[in-house]
Structure 1
Amino acid sequence: MIATHSAGEDNAILATEAIGKDYPGVRALSNLSMVIRRGEVHALVGENGAGKSTLIRILSGDARPSAGRVLLEGKPIMLDTPGAARRNGIVTIFQELMIVPGMTVAENIVLGNEPASRAGRHIVSCRQAKAIASDMLEALDCADEIDPGARASSLSTGHKQIVEIARALALKAPIIILDEPTASLSDKEADALLRILRRLRAEGTTILYVSHRLTEVMGLADRITVLRGGRHIETLETSSLRGTGELIELMVGRPLTELFPPRNRTIGDIRLSVSGLTRKDVFEDISFDVRAGEVLGFAGLVGAGRTEIMRSVFGADPRDGGEIRKDGRRLTIKAPADAIRSGLAYIPEDRKDQGLVTGLSGYENLLMASLADHCRGGLIAWRHACQAATTMAQKLQFRGQLSRPARTNSGGNQQKIVIGKWMLTNADVYIFDEPTRGIDVGAKAEIYRLIQDLAARGAAVIVVSSENAELLHLCHRILVVSAGTIQDEIPEEQFDEHRILAAAFKGHDRSAVGPAQERRNNE
């Protein structure tokens, strides 16, 4: 492992020296020094609260450091506003994209750098704007995909991100900072974005890349800086790492073996039985059992049908045939309300759009599925309900503020709200779909603990995950889904990642799977 500390390092384009940042009662960054080399992809990783966002805000001119300085090509610079950062060649693309939906693609690309018309410097030349936008999209090899004249509101999230990168190119920015750029993208969109970033690196652009997706980071970055508790822990050459485990240990400050709790070993009778579940052209003849106290994993490639199966079990999507039994009793599930009354809970893969009402408070989200339990004479006993929510939040080690909108919490705390919502219903079958997607390593460990706690209480737990390491360490059995059918059932004593991958690729053209997707399935 190679640590980097010297701001005078050869080929350094951007550096921080002893940067500190204090907020009232909180030290967000402490004596942080790091170096970013010209033309490299430099990844920044760490748990929530490690200081990544604060450092990005400082480098973006959105916050001033309390101590230390920033150097550009060895010379101190003042980044007191976002405009100052842009003038120094630093452009940041935040997770919340800065796109004006009512404007065209071309107008968004030249925003802040509009070409003047011959009629006057206060009049924008639409022709020149469109020409600049076309040139930038051509440089990104996206001219055939994105129309400069299209409204930005019509674009996918992935294409909006490309528009922001095109804007950075139009500004001739030598340094681009990306904050969780693939968090809201499909796998196909993420692969396309990573290809663009590799091309920009090859052309000499310097990229600071922030992401929780460690496999993605290792496949893209030249070097990786780890932050923990607001401090620089280490900067590593990616080629020196044997796998994501080393990064995780640096991020959390403890051995990887402590990340996963012991499996529950008290397995009871069959709690949920699914037989012959079929939905035309989506999945066929899906049959499985899960016992009380058991954690059953579902592995497979994106698009294999795992999420669709779970949504049908929960009544969120229709099915054409099949039977569902719980504790031996046949269930009639035509809608989620039927599943909830039967003691089923579903934690969806997209917690923001499907698991939360992000504008409501943490209290309201936690109580959403169990308000009937707190009604007295037709009125909601709010004091009693909020006490139940507070008790659940404490049990889940929730560290946010329940009184604030759910959207203001970290991804890990949002996921705890979704899980707590269902735990308050006293469900005894839990379906987790990608339970740790987009959350940091420390929060993942807490979610793993919650899953094993539910199993120890006698609940039947199903976990759908694209992270094979997650399934191998959590589950008692793993079912592998490919092309809408179950291809393999693997008991714990036969767990083998190669066997999972072999079954996952049945029914798929392996050549059609992008390299980033293949890396994710090999994690």
Structure 2
Amino acid sequence: MGRTILRAEGISKSFSKVQVLKNVDFELEAAETHILMGENGAGKSTLMKILTGVYRKSSGKIFLENENGDLEETDFHNPKAALEKGISMVFQEFNLMDNMSIAENISMGFAPAKHGVIDWKAMNEEAVGWMKMVDLNLPPTTIVGKLSTAQKQCVEIAKCLSHNARIIILDEPTSSLSEKEVRTLFSLIDKLKKEGISFIYISHRMEEIFEIGDRVTVFRDGEQVGVRNISETTENELIRLMIGREFKDKYSDYDETKERQVAIEAEGIITSKFDTPIDFKAWSGEIVGIFGLIGAGRTELARVLFGIDQSPCGVLKKDGKILKLRSASDAISNRIGMVPEDRKELGLIVKQDIQSNLTIVKLRDLPKILTSTKKETQITEHYIDALSIACAGRKQLVERLSGGNQQKVVISKWLSLKLDVLILDEPTRGVDVKAKAEIYEIIRELADQGMCVIMISSDLPEILRVSHRVVVMHDGKITLDGLTRNYDQEKIMHAAIS
């Protein structure tokens, strides 16, 4: 055991009469990366907001290491009080001003002044020092809006360090990063840990948890249900703790001897970003996992299959017949659906309720006027029950659902059309482990019912766990196509980079 620098004992928090944290304990050691896991709404973020002064606890105690190395009881009445004690948080949505410079963002609210006026020279010089600590080699006058996501994250961490942070909380820090940027972030975390800084790291990504973490605390339904050393636990144990039951890791085997019909086929098509012709086939009752690194051409292929983009050459076929897809509406008419990668921007109307979202693609098929509302209600209630959508009812606004339940609404919207082919682009991005397991089960059930499911994913363990067949893309070309069980991560990744 290392030296404990932060301890929370019996923390509870209620909003009105709803208790969201129940007698939670948590400890953080010096120079440790402590992972927080749990489904959305499990209490992770609430505890972090208490530790950063955003929320006041209802009961419990917080102890923080003082200058003498002793744990001293403390309380944070506001975020400024937490900052002064060395606790900072980098939120998933960055708290940066895009129209201001790196130096201005780092020193915001604490800019050095001379005679009541900002000392710009001193501010830029100080910023360079913090930027060096996070390996950000740019002029401090660079406008933040011109930076990449990874560079913005470095600015956020530099801002934390400028407040003399001893504890940095990272909320889903890799959700928008490429693999190369993830590696850079992990190197930075290792570097700062050697300088004595501790990290609380919120994540749903199993592979990175086992790479970067020292210990993990699991939350479920507002309670802390387990603390494990990363080196002494397994993925299945953590999932069991999060969902409260055994996780069905293995799905039914794919019988390749069974006669299947080609559901959708592309011959010699070209996508919007590449000029290499592509041949692609997917069969009924099959889950095809399409893997590739960012920019490999996966989404571009899906856009052609769904009629959003049109190929200047080649043909598309469904059930052996040539398709003429000039729009997504044409694809829907041919019983092809697509769940987009960005569900909030492209898949949902978040300011409307579940029923409006779920039935919008089916409106033209519903009876008119008086009977329409009754039919919409029946459809909505059926899919809320069938997909176990956790909600307060069919009229709940979609923006108030968790990410996993929002994704279920998007999937339900397409299932109501009785599709033959469903394309899922990053179906579990940004959802918690419990929701992932439920979405996997939905995908398997659809395939068992005879639907062709095309699943695009950047999560290689997900591809291996869920798909029957794997297709790997690189630079707009298909570099591997075969039964998933014949390949491991190394072989698939090799095909994705060469």
TM-score higher than 0.5 here? yes
What is the match of residue 325 of structure 1? 317
Instruction: State yes or no: 1:137 paired with 2:131.
Output: yes
Give the partner amino acid of 1:119.
H
2:74 corresponds to? 77
Separation in 2, partners of 1:235, 1:394: 33
Cα distance between partner residues in 1 of 2:185 and 2:460: 24
Q: Is residue 131–residue 137 contact of structure 2 (8 Å, CA) maintained in 1?
A: yes
Corresponding residue for 1:224?
216
Distance between the aligned counterparts of 1:102 and 1:367, measured in 2?
Answer: 40
1:249 is the counterpart of 2:245: no
Offset from partner CA, 1:442-461 (integer Å, 9 cap, x none): 10111012112222332211
Deviations 1:442-486 (A, max 9, x none): 101110121122223322111122333333332332223333322
* Corresponding residue SS for 2:472: strand
Q: 1:396 — aligned with what?
A: 387
Taking a change above 3 Å as real, the CA distance of residues 391 and 264 of structure 1, as seen in their structure-2 partners, is: farther
Query: Is residue 108 from structure 1 mapped to residue 105 from structure 2 by the alignment?
Result: yes
> How many angstroms apart in 1 are the aligned matches of 2:180 and 2:374?
47
> Is 1:89 paired with 2:54?
no
Pick the aligned partner of 2:483 from 491, 496, 505: 491
1:55 to 44, 47, 62: 47
Are the counterparts in 1 of residues 88 and 169 from structure 2 also a CA contact under 8 Å? yes
The answer for unaligned runs of 5 or more in structure 1 is: 1-8, 508-523
Q: 1:30 to 1:129 in 2, by over 3 A?
A: same
Q: Aligned partners of 2:112 and 2:398: how far apart in 1?
A: 41
Q: Structure 2: 5+ residue runs without aligned partners?
A: 66-70
Deviation at 1:497, TM superposition (A): 4.2
Q: How many pairs align?
A: 490
Q: Which residue of 1 aligns with 2:301?
A: 309
Identity %: 37
Shift of the 369–127 alpha-carbon distance from structure 1 to 2, 3 Å rule, reads farther
Tell me the secondary structure at the aligned position of residue 363 of structure 1.
helix
Establish whether residue 155 from structure 1 lines up as the match of residue 151 from structure 2. Answer: no
State how far apart, in whole Å, the 1-side matches of 2:121 and 2:372 are.
62
In the TM superposition, residue 238 of structure 1 has moved relative to its aligned partner by: 2.2
Pairing 1:423–2:419 present: no
SS at match of 1:400: coil
1:517 corresponds in structure 2 to none
| Displacement of 1:263 | 5.8
In the alignment, what sits opposite 1:21? 13
**What residue is the counterpart of 2:270 in the other structure?**
278
Distance in 1 (alpha carbons) for counterparts of 2:373 and 2:141: 51
TM-score, normalised via structure 1 length: 0.86
| Partner in structure 1 of residue 68 of structure 2 | none
What amino acid maps onto 2:241 in structure 1? Answer: L
- How far apart in 2 are the matches of 1:297 and 1:381? 37
Q: How does 1:366-405 map to 2 (within 5 A)?
A: 366-374=358-366, 376=368, 381-382=372-373, 384-401=375-392, 403-405=395-397
Letter in 1 for 2:304: S
CA gap 1:495/1:10 in 2 versus in 1, 3 angstroms: closer
- Are residues 406 and 150 of structure 1, via their aligned partners in 2, closer, same or farther at CA, if it must alter by over 3 Å? farther
RMSD: 2.7
Secondary structure at the aligned position of 2:189 is classed as helix
Separation of aligned partners in 1, 2:267 and 2:149: 38
Q: 2:128 & 2:469 partners in 1: Cα distance?
A: 52
Describe the SS at the equivalent of 2:270: strand
- 1:141 maps to a residue whose letter is D
- Secondary structure of the residue aligned to 1:70 is strand
- Give the one of 125, 132, 136 matched to 2:119: 125
Deviation at 1:56, TM superposition (A): 0.8
Structure 2 residue matching 1:272: 3-state secondary structure: strand
> Which whole-Å CA distance do the structure 1 matches of 2:386 and 2:367 have between them?
23
Contact 1:176 1:205 in 2 (8 A): yes
Alignment check: 8 A CA contact 2:219 2:226 kept: yes
Secondary structure of the equivalent of 1:296?
strand
